[in-house]
Amino acid sequence: MKRNSKTSVAVITGVSSGLGRALAQCFHHNGFRVVGISRSQPDIDLDLWVCADVTNPEDRARAVRETEAFAGSVDVLINNAGKGLYDTWEESSMEELKALFELNFFAVAGMTQAFLPLLKRSRGTVINISSAAGRIWVFCMGAYCASKAAVSMFSNSLRGEVARYGVRVLDVSPGQINTGFSSRSFGHRSPPDSPGRSAGPEDFAKAVYRAWKRGRKSMTYPGWLGAALFAVRYFVPGIYNHFSLKMWGLK
């Protein structure tokens, strides 16, 4: 496995804000040359910024060309760009659902396909940012949950397929992190206040970097959340449903 060095290159999508911004700063701090991809220009120093819409196949191909011309290879691809949707299934339009899956899932698959030749060359790593919401149902966020569950299944099946090339896959499932995610989401509803304290994006980025260094296949952040999700799914789903429906005003 390639460790961080002055010649290592990380390509990160959605670097203009939130988790992508924090990941870019973290990997840069640890010696990577960072290629950031976003539609809006970020306010952080990057070795290369590519203005691109990752849902556009032509933009994805251009991002590969510009990255290869700049660095020659890629050691880490972080598919981070994504968006939320706060609606019941009944309220969600097909246009909204298609737009959500286009960014949250199809762009992830498309970016991975586009960069895989470079990753095979370097025996690199794909890091896909899924969500804890992809591991449990959340009312009024069902479409988002489904899109992130698709990302995790993509990661877990991709891992075995690319292992023969020396390419690794890390599936990351973050919980509640203070990034302004809700304000950038779309839909007709506002999310209720969630219990507990939101984690910071900088600490999350450090945890992802450590997981990459250790060769992890998956991680949930914060670490205790995995056990909590398991308990809710298999031991107290009725209690979870009761309180969640009340929080969303559906009961």
Instruction: Give the catalytic positions in this structure.
Output: 16, 130, 144, 148
Rounded CA-CA distance 11/50 in Å is: 10
- Structural tokens at position 219: 């991680």
- Cα-to-chain-centroid distance, residue 61: 20
Contact, 64 vs 121, CB < 8 A?
A: no
Rounded CA-CA distance 22/179 in Å is: 10
Distance linking the first and last C-alpha atoms of the chain: 51
Burial of 2 (0-12, 13-18, 19+ CB in 10 A): middle
- Structural tokens at position 62: 């251009």
Expressed in percent and rounded to 5, the helix, strand and coil fractions of the chain are: 50, 15, 35
Rounded CA-CA distance 40/37 in Å is: 9
Tell me the C-alpha to C-alpha distance, in Å, between residue 113 and each of 14, 108, 117, 228: 18, 9, 8, 34
